[in-house]
């Protein structure tokens, strides 16, 4: 059996690795002309790391990323609102979250593949025949397979063609990300905090992602498409973070504006149709979420494992697709919903509202916090 995978992002590459391990043939087609080595970092959840353990690559990734001991949510004065102990997480769930540079992750995933990704291949049409599925690319070429996995991201062209037009929702926030080359003191290397400002969606964080690389991100509530040059964005970031406690202003001072990556943050209104005929959606193409729970890629990674496992344990692709969706849809949609609610919570403004919000977050009972962690990380594969 052969799968055509459209999109060589984290979801598509993980699917290819899982298929390869189960003896499937596959071809991965990526629209970008090449993989770039620049970019931001990412936090892979303990759930995603469990999948990578199952695929035998968790230790390779861990050796190239950062090592996170403690994760906090703090207010800008340094007061702790919530706390996750990475060591406890590992004891309870058998894996820990991994901060890593995206380019490092991508390179490690690409290394696993015996069949190189075909770059510069933008899929523009998908056609089913009685015996298979054909993908057509903008360079005039085509590829044929038994099934097609659409892992082409939130703006999935395959989804739009096969399943229909879906709704993008703007969260009200713009995010700027980058990596900064700097040496952090030990405590800062192993602990990270998501720091909430005085409302209006202002949040920032930095974390060590291996070597001397520090991943930094910043969000603010702003209308979508608000024009900002990178220099203006950096001035805004430095101004908003100037009175944040701790190391945050120092990291912000080291940012090279040319390396800032901007994302206006959208998600996809939940859809329950994830497959049609021989085509199946995966990752952001199926259930793009805002990044507030740091779970978008982690969910794509879970999808990849569950889809391939379903394909290998059912004799026909339609039953396998149905099984995959049944196992994944409720969880993925809950994450989209929770992440959206969190974005709206951080959008609150005004000193009183922010004080109430921070008090509420600080007072979340231990039992509720534990249930949330169980939901995110305690997965069975």
**What is the spatial distance between Cα 42 and Cα 100, in angstroms, rounded to a whole number?**
6
Site for ligand FAD in 100-139 (CB under 6 A): 121-123
- Our CB check for ligand FAD shows the closer of 69 and 243 to be 69
Q: How many whole angstroms separate alpha carbon 82 and alpha carbon 357?
A: 12
381 to each of 8, 189, 241, 320, how far by Cα in Å?
23, 31, 41, 16
Q: Is 152 a binder of ligand FAD (CB under 6 A)? A: yes
| Site membership for ligand FAD, residue 237 (CB under 6 A) | no
Least distance from ligand FAD to the Cβ atom of residue 265, Å: 6
CB neighbourhood size of 323 (10 A): 17
Residue 171 Cβ vs ligand FAD, minimum distance, rounded to whole Å: 10
Asked whether 1 and 146 are in contact (CB, 8 A), the reply is yes
Whose structure tokens read 């916090």? 369
32 forms part of the interface with ligand FAD (CB under 6 A): yes
CA distance 140 to 59: 40
Q: Is 308 in the site for ligand FAD (CB under 6 A)?
A: no
**300 touches ligand FAD (CB under 6 A):** yes
**Would you say 262 or 362 has its CB closer to ligand FAD?**
262
Direct distance between the N- and C-terminal alpha carbons of the chain, in angstroms, rounded to an integer: 23
Is position 43 an interface residue for ligand FAD (rule: CB under 6 A)? yes
112 CB burial (10 A radius; 0-12, 13-18, 19+): middle
66 binds ligand FAD (CB under 6 A): no
**Rounded Cα–Cα distance for residues 163 and 363 (Å):** 43
Q: Does 332 bind ligand FAD (CB under 6 A)?
A: no
DSSP 3-state helix, strand, coil percentages of the chain (rounded to 5)?
40, 25, 30
Distance of alpha carbon 371 from alpha carbon 381, whole angstroms: 19
- 42 touching ligand FAD, by CB under 6 A: yes
Residue of the chain from 17, 149, 291, 305 that contacts ligand FAD (CB under 6 A) = 291
Our finding on whether 263 is near ligand FAD (CB under 6 A) is yes
46, 58, 175, 182: which one binds ligand FAD (CB under 6 A) = 175
| Binding-site size, ligand FAD (CB under 6 A) | 33
Q: By CB under 6 A, is residue 6 in contact with ligand FAD? A: yes
We find the least distance from the C-beta atom of residue 41 to ligand FAD, in angstroms, to be: 7
- Paired tokens of 185: 């003191």
Residues at the contact surface with ligand FAD, assessed by CB under 6 A:
6-12, 29-32, 42-43, 121-123, 151-153, 157, 175, 177, 263, 283-285, 291, 294-298, 300
């Amino acid at each position: 059996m052969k799968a055509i995978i459209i999109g060589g992002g984290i979801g598509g590459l993980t699917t290819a690795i899982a298929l390869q391990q189960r003896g499937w043939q596959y071809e991965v087609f990526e629209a970008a002309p090449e993989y770039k080595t620049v970019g931001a970092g990412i936090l892979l959840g303990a759930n995603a790391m469990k999948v990578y353990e199952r695929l035998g690559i968790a230790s390779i990734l861990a050796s190239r990323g950062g090592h996170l001991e403690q994760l906090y949510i703090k207010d800008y004065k340094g007061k702790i609102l919530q706390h996750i102990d990475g060591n406890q997480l590992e004891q309870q769930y058998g894996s820990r979250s991994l901060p890593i540079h995206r380019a490092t992750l991508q390179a490690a995933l690409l290394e696993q593949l015996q069949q190189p990704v075909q770059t510069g291949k933008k899929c523009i049409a998908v056609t089913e025949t009685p015996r298979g599925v054909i993908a057509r690319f903008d360079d005039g070429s085509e590829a044929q397979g038994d099934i097609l996995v659409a892992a082409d991201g939130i703006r999935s062209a395959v989804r739009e063609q096969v399943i229909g037009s879906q709704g993008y929702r703007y969260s009200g926030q713009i995010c700027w990300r980058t990596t900064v080359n700097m040496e952090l003191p030990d405590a800062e290397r192993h602990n990270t905090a998501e720091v909430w400002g005085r409302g209006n969606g202002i949040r920032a964080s930095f974390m060590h992602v291996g070597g001397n690389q520090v991943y930094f991100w910043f969000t603010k509530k702003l209308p979508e498409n608000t024009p900002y040059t990178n220099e203006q964005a950096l001035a805004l970031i430095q101004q908003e973070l100037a009175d944040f406690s701790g190391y945050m202003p120092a990291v912000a001072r080291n940012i090279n504006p040319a390396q800032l990556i901007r994302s206006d943050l959208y998600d996809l209104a939940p859809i329950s149709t994830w497959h049609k005929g021989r085509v199946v959606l995966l990752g952001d193409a199926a259930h793009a979420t805002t990044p507030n729970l740091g779970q978008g890629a982690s969910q794509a990674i879970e999808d990849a494992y569950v889809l391939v496992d379903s394909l290998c344990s059912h004799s026909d692709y339609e039953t396998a697709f149905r099984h995959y969706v049944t196992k994944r849809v409720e969880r993925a949609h809950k994450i989209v919903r929770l992440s959206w609610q969190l974005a709206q919570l951080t959008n609150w403004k005004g000193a009183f509202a922010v004080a109430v919000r921070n008090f509420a977050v600080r007072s979340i009972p231990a039992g509720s916090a534990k249930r949330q962690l169980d939901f995110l990380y305690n997965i069975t594969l």
